[in-house]
Amino acid sequence: MADKKLVESITSMDSDFAQWYTDVVKKAELIDYTSVKGCMVIKPAGYALWENIQKNLDAMFKENGVENVYLPMFIPESLLQKEKDHVEGFAPEVAWVTHGGLTELQERLCVRPTSETLFCDFYKNDIHSYRDLPRVYNQWCSVVRWEKETRPFLRSREFLWQEGHTAHATAAEAEERTIQMLNVYARFCEEVLAVPVIKGKKTDKEKFAGAESTYTIEALMHDGKALQSGTSHNFGDGFARAFGIQFADKDNTLKHVHQTSWGMSTRIIGAIIMVHGDDSGLVLPPRIAPTQVMIIPIQQKKEGVLDKAYALRDRLKGSLRVKVDDSDKSPGWKFSEQEMRGIPLRVEVGPKDIEAGRCVICRRDTREKVEAAFDELEEKLQEVLDKMQKEMLERAREHRDAHTYTAASMDEFEKIFNEKAGFVKAMWCGEQACEDTIKEKLSVTSRCMPFEQEQIADTCVCCGRPAKKMVYWGRAY
């Protein structure tokens, strides 16, 4: 039995989801707060998650022809101002460097909130001919946005992310790349993080500052709120015109490039926590868990117990990420810690198990226990991990579907958002006025116009005029 003390130290999800979240990120030792307002320390357990995210996502990027680069963290004010919509979107929330050493700078530098302007400034000199295209570059870095209210992973003044920035010869190729990267994100979320997502396009109101169109993947958290989990933007040739990025095409005429950008951040760790977690703490999908199997010795002071635990670990570590908890805590406390940290499987090994030549495997998500003979342990663990990964995605999808509603009228729409939490599919006329009205009344935003459209009604849920699109609506993080 797991020791209850550690578990009782966290608030239950149902009584206060926000507090549960804060308790879990602290007790699972993912982060710590700092003296730097709005910034956090990502502790080893949190950073190991990010390292696995990077490793998996970066491998997918490379399969898709992406090359990594690194650009400066500072943007001169004049550079930020070159694209009108972009500067309007970001200038109010950037940090400004005004002094270098003891000297006041001639021009202020902002700490990058995103790097479109820097990539444009670079591409302007880097791209000359159609032979130089496409450029499919990405960087892993930290960015700063001067947020007023912050929450670990979900919204902080500094966060880690990747930002891809590409340049293409044609509009069609840029659009293709925008969708291609959105699909990479969606596949990553579903296959690696077991987080199902809705793919779609943002409305003009919700699109990225300076983009022609923004695509998004939206996930539903356990509390029924939405989390934008990755975005991919098509800029057309807007930035290229503002920055003068031209290339000599095959027909020897000068043309502007077409650009895209796409990003995923440490925010996605918030999604892992809020989609899979439970009242005992984190539940990590096996593919992303830094430790997949924790071997917990029972009566570890008895001769042979620890030796057996180490021997099993050494045998398994070629194919699994496995550890032994050999600390001097009680087994019950170790169980609680393994559960709090979301380690997918626990293997209990005591004198009786050793005598019988088998042990117990316990799944973190369902608490299901399976017996396995020592000599078939590796195959059995792999089998249970695969099953767990698959079932976690299925369960998350079922939860999402069970919390996705349909509203044909404003009455229905309001009733759902007043009584329930989740996605609501409803028709929209295409006017921002209706989005504004809905946001003001219900604090609900349009999450996306999904690629998979349905004809729920003929008229806009808000104004009653003819509908153009079905939209997913929700309250969002």
Residues that bind a copy of itself (CB under 8 A): 32, 34-36, 39-44, 47-48, 50-51, 67-76, 79, 92-102, 109, 111, 118, 121-122, 125-126, 137, 141-142, 144, 146, 157-158, 160
Smallest distance from the beta carbon of 294 to a copy of itself, in angstroms? 16
Query: For 274, phi and psi rounded to 5 degrees?
Result: -85, -15
Given the complex with a copy of itself, which of 77 and 190 has the nearer CB atom? 77
Instruction: Report residue 155 as tokens.
Output: 């919204």
CA nearest neighbour of 134 among 221, 54, 235, 66 = 66
Residues 6+ apart with CB under 8 A from 371: 358, 359, 360, 361
Given the complex with a copy of itself, which of 34 and 319 has the nearer CB atom? 34
Given the complex with a copy of itself, which of 46 and 350 has the nearer CB atom? 46
Q: Which helix (H) or strand (E) holds 314?
A: helix 305-316
Smallest distance from the beta carbon of 143 to a copy of itself, in angstroms? 10
Instruction: Report residue 307 as tokens.
Output: 């030796």
Q: Which helix (H) or strand (E) holds 199?
A: strand 198-201
Given the complex with a copy of itself, which of 100 and 466 has the nearer CB atom? 100
Given the complex with a copy of itself, which of 14 and 32 has the nearer CB atom? 32
| Residue reference for tokens 């991990």 | 385
Smallest distance from the beta carbon of 266 to a copy of itself, in angstroms? 9
Smallest distance from the beta carbon of 256 to a copy of itself, in angstroms? 20
Instruction: Report residue 448 as tokens.
Output: 């996306």
CA nearest neighbour of 423 among 193, 200, 213, 204 = 200
Given the complex with a copy of itself, which of 223 and 326 has the nearer CB atom? 326
CA nearest neighbour of 475 among 422, 408, 438 = 422
Given the complex with a copy of itself, which of 34 and 432 has the nearer CB atom? 34
Given the complex with a copy of itself, which of 121 and 365 has the nearer CB atom? 121
d(C-alpha 317, C-alpha 314), whole Å: 5
Is 391 strand, coil or helix?
helix
Smallest distance from the beta carbon of 210 to a copy of itself, in angstroms? 18
d(C-alpha 277, C-alpha 48), whole Å: 18
d(C-alpha 362, C-alpha 343), whole Å: 10
Smallest distance from the beta carbon of 58 to a copy of itself, in angstroms? 9
Sign (positive/negative) of CA torsion 153, 155, 157, 159? Answer: positive
Given the complex with a copy of itself, which of 42 and 294 has the nearer CB atom? 42
Smallest distance from the beta carbon of 226 to a copy of itself, in angstroms? 26
Smallest distance from the beta carbon of 429 to a copy of itself, in angstroms? 34
Name 387's bridge partners.
none
Instruction: Report residue 220 as tokens.
Output: 């539903």
Angle at 392 between CA 232 and CA 339, to 5 degrees: 110
Angle at 18 between CA 223 and CA 203, to 5 degrees: 55
Smallest distance from the beta carbon of 35 to a copy of itself, in angstroms? 5
Smallest distance from the beta carbon of 136 to a copy of itself, in angstroms? 10
Given the complex with a copy of itself, which of 68 and 432 has the nearer CB atom? 68
